Each structure stands twice: as structure tokens, then as C-alpha cells.
Amino acid sequence: MKTVFNEYEIDDDLARVDFCRVHDWLSHTYWTPGIELWKVKQAAEHSTLVAGVYKGSAQVAYARIVSDTIRFAYLADVYVDDAHRGRGIAQALVGFLQDHPLLELIPHITLKTLDAQPLYAKLGFEPLGDPEKWMRWKRDPEAC
């Protein structure tokens, strides 16, 4: 599936993803500092949906969804290149994923963010109403 947003194209074709560029972005984030290229590729390959934003042939943004396509979906690795921020690209990219046919049966999408709550609130995301019901298991207590 593809769509156009201003001078950008949003595309869910995994074969089009520039993994070297995505790796460079993600390896400098707070959520995956120093992540290895093979892990970025494997995460994408095992995700339900991966989307990139392109200006011409250059990739300028990336995001992915992990889901069973019925009951749950988790939004991960939303990233917009510094030179293209402030143009609504993240909103358009997340909106593209929210409206994707693969996720039409999903009752809600979750995500975790340190600092982008205002962005996601514009797209209908809200804090969990029952965070005390959510639990997690951590293989490494020191991990992010």
C-alpha cells in the first residue's frame, strides 16, 4: 500500500527500506542505543507491518507495527530524519499505519514514548486507563 503526503510517499514495501539508514537512526535513539544492524533487519522482518516515508528515492522516516492482526498491535521505532522534522511526517506515517487494512480488526494500538505524548495525542492515543493491569517481564533488569 502506498499513499502520498505533500512531496513525500509513504510505502509499506519492506524491500524498499534502507536498512543502513534506519540502523543509523535507531542506533542513536534512547530506546535502542547501539543496536546492531542485523537486529534492526530481523525486527522489521518479524513485524506485521513496516512503513517508510520517502522523498524521491531517499528514505526520510520509518515505523513498524508488531501485531497478531486481531487482538493487539504495538507501534515501534517511529523515527523521522532530523532534516524533515516539523512537517507532519510522523503524524502522516502513524496515521497511515492506523488506517492500514492489515490492522482493521485491531481494537487498540499501544506504544511507549518518553517524550512524544503530544504528537500521539493528536492521533487519538491516550494514557492507559488501567496501567495497574499491565505487566512485563524483563530478561535483563538493567535493559531499557
* pLDDT score of 129: 86
The three cell numbers of residue 85 are 522534522
**Mean pLDDT, to the nearest integer, of 48-58?**
97
> Is 46's pLDDT higher than 80?
yes
Using one digit for the tens of pLDDT, what is the confidence trace for 81-123?
999 999 999 999 999 999 999 999 999 999 999 999 999 999 9
> Is 23's pLDDT higher than 90?
yes
DSSP assignment of 37-67 = HHHHHHHHHTSSEEEEEEETTEEEEEEEEEE
Q: Which of 79, 88, 84 is nearest to 25 (CA)?
A: 79
- Domain map of the chain by residue range? 2-133
* pLDDT score of 27: 97
In CATH, what number does 2-133 get?
A: 3.40.630.30
Q: Going by C-beta distance under 8 Å and a sequence separation of 6 or more, which residues neighbour residue 63? A: 50, 51, 75, 76, 77, 78, 79, 93, 94, 97
* pLDDT score of 144: 57
